[in-house]
Structure 1
Amino acid sequence: MDLQDQLKNLFPDHEPEERHEPEETQSDIWLQDDPILCKFEKRKGKPVTILEGYTGADDDFKKLAKELKTTLGVGGSFKKEMIIIQGDYRDKIMDMLKKKGFSVKRVGG
């Protein structure tokens, strides 16, 4: 017996409302035609994922970096027109960016 059945037994007259999950909305980040390059490197023995090639404003790039870091739950930084994410998250990052409407190119490996 799952939670829904238990709730129906407790409140037989209640009819649950249908929830509509909000679709992922288009953010205010500028989308470009050229692909963002997603590559993997080791720096000081630690794996990092690097995104570069974004031609939008620095503020948009910083917003994108913050969104990626919070979604993945990892650390990272924004330096010299690059987003540096700690760890090898190329596949997850590429999927997230494609869902947002970016074109992404995997570089190396």
Structure 2
Amino acid sequence: MDLQDQLKNLFPDHIPEKEDLPEKSGPKFWLQDDPILCKYEKRKGKPVTILEGYNGADKDLKNLTKELKTLLGVGGTYKDEKIIIQGDYRDRIMEFLKENGFKTKRVGG
């Protein structure tokens, strides 16, 4: 029995009002003026894509990492203010970031 059912049992004559909550219409992430650097490296013979230069809060960095991993269907992590994605996905990541209002800069090859 959840809270709504308990309240109905306590106050059977009460008719709850529908509250219209305002929807978030702003961007999902904190946007910055500086570009995010998108690098490609090989670590232990495997390709990784590294994003650095994002100076938002840790919560925003975590959300951005989660969105990228979900979009690409790959593993990855964030640490030391860098996002590390397994595989070479620079083009798709840069396209996603541009769609969300970020400036990006490709570093290396």
Equivalent residue, structure 2, for 1:88: 88
Q: Which segments of 5 or more consecutive residues in structure 2 lack a partner in the other structure?
A: 1-24
SS at match of 2:84: strand
Equivalent residue, structure 2, for 1:78: 78
Preserved CA contact (<8 Å) 1:49 1:87:
yes
Provide the TM-score with structure 1 as the length reference. Answer: 0.75
* Cα distance in 2, alignment partners of residues 80 and 33 from structure 1: 20
SS at match of 1:69: helix
Equivalent residue, structure 2, for 1:52: 52
Equivalent residue, structure 1, for 2:99: 99
Segments ≥4 residues shifted beyond 4 Å = none
* Cα distance in 2, alignment partners of residues 93 and 26 from structure 1: 21
Q: What fraction of aligned residue pairs are identical, expressed as a percent?
A: 73
Q: Which segments of 5 or more consecutive residues in structure 1 lack a partner in the other structure?
A: 1-24
Equivalent residue, structure 2, for 1:16: none
RMSD of Structure 2 on Structure 1 (CA) = 1.0
* Cα distance in 2, alignment partners of residues 63 and 27 from structure 1: 12
Deviation at 1:29, TM superposition (A): 1.0
Provide the TM-score with structure 2 as the length reference. Answer: 0.75
Equivalent residue, structure 1, for 2:15: none
* Cα distance in 2, alignment partners of residues 85 and 94 from structure 1: 13
Aligned length: 85
* Cα distance in 2, alignment partners of residues 31 and 100 from structure 1: 9
* Cα distance in 1, alignment partners of residues 38 and 59 from structure 2: 19
Preserved CA contact (<8 Å) 1:26 1:100:
no
